[in-house]
Amino acid sequence: MKKILILSFVLICSAYFYPQEMRQNAFKSLFSDEKANKIGDAITILVVESSQASNNAETQATRSSSLSLTAKGQAGKTALPGVDLGLGTNNDFTGSGSTKTTGLIRTKISATIDSVLKNGNLLVRGSRKIVINGEEQVVKIKGIVRSSDIAADNSVLSYNISEAEIEFSGSGLIERSQSPGWITKLFHILF
């Protein structure tokens, strides 16, 4: 009996001196892993973006005008020489243009929660920089994620991010070789 009283006393004292905060565990589930929901928590964004756009335009305009003057006359019994005058203008314009772009990005980026909005949505921001043989590629992402769109493994697909800003940029030898030279740029400015 003494042992039971001592054990009860120890349990009551430990509960009193080391209480568990219920608010601390409010977001934890007994059945799944803890999801990211606080500022500074990490979240994995699976960027799966595909875009296609095309635009065609054709313009054709034609304008022509002509003016003609003919004069003949007689002074007495003498015929005056005839005068013919003709003036014509013609203006033709034909133009066409088309653009077509396609893009595909697939990557994983680890991001952090910047802030929690009043409605419980999360503002996330992340970036990844990869340098291979002097070629630098930077992927940046920012947007708003609903807590319900976060999977059990703390990942979210990029098309579930609202107000998403995804920036994919690169620099290096390949980027420099694809851009026009300074003489070509000068001719584009002048002409």
The pLDDT tens digits along the chain (191 residues) read: 778 888 788 777 776 666 665 555 555 555 656 777 788 888 999 988 777 788 888 887 777 777 776 767 676 667 667 777 676 777 777 778 787 878 777 888 899 999 999 998 999 999 988 888 878 888 899 999 998 888 888 889 988 999 989 888 877 766 666 667 777 777 677 76
Q: Could you tell me if 72 and 82 are in contact, meaning their C-beta atoms sit under 8 angstroms apart?
A: yes
Q: State the pLDDT at residue 34.
A: 72
Q: State the pLDDT at residue 25.
A: 55
Question: Could you state, in order of their start, the residue ranges of all structural domains in the chain?
Answer: 56-97
Handedness of CA 34, 35, 36, 38 (dihedral sign): negative
pTM, whole model, 2 decimals?
A: 0.52
SS3 label, residue 43: strand
Q: Could you tell me if 59 and 93 are in contact, meaning their C-beta atoms sit under 8 angstroms apart?
A: yes
Q: State the pLDDT at residue 163.
A: 92
Handedness of CA 172, 110, 124, 103 (dihedral sign): positive
Q: State the pLDDT at residue 144.
A: 94
Reference 113, options 139, 137, 141; nearest CA is 141
Tokens representing residue 181 in the block: 């030279």
Q: Could you tell me if 149 and 132 are in contact, meaning their C-beta atoms sit under 8 angstroms apart?
A: no
47 CB-near residues (< 8 Å, 6+ apart): 105, 106, 107, 108, 109, 139, 141, 158, 166
Reference 163, options 142, 148, 146; nearest CA is 142
Q: State the pLDDT at residue 145.
A: 93
Q: State the pLDDT at residue 125.
A: 94
* 69 φ/ψ sector (left φ>0, alpha ψ -120 to 50, else beta): beta
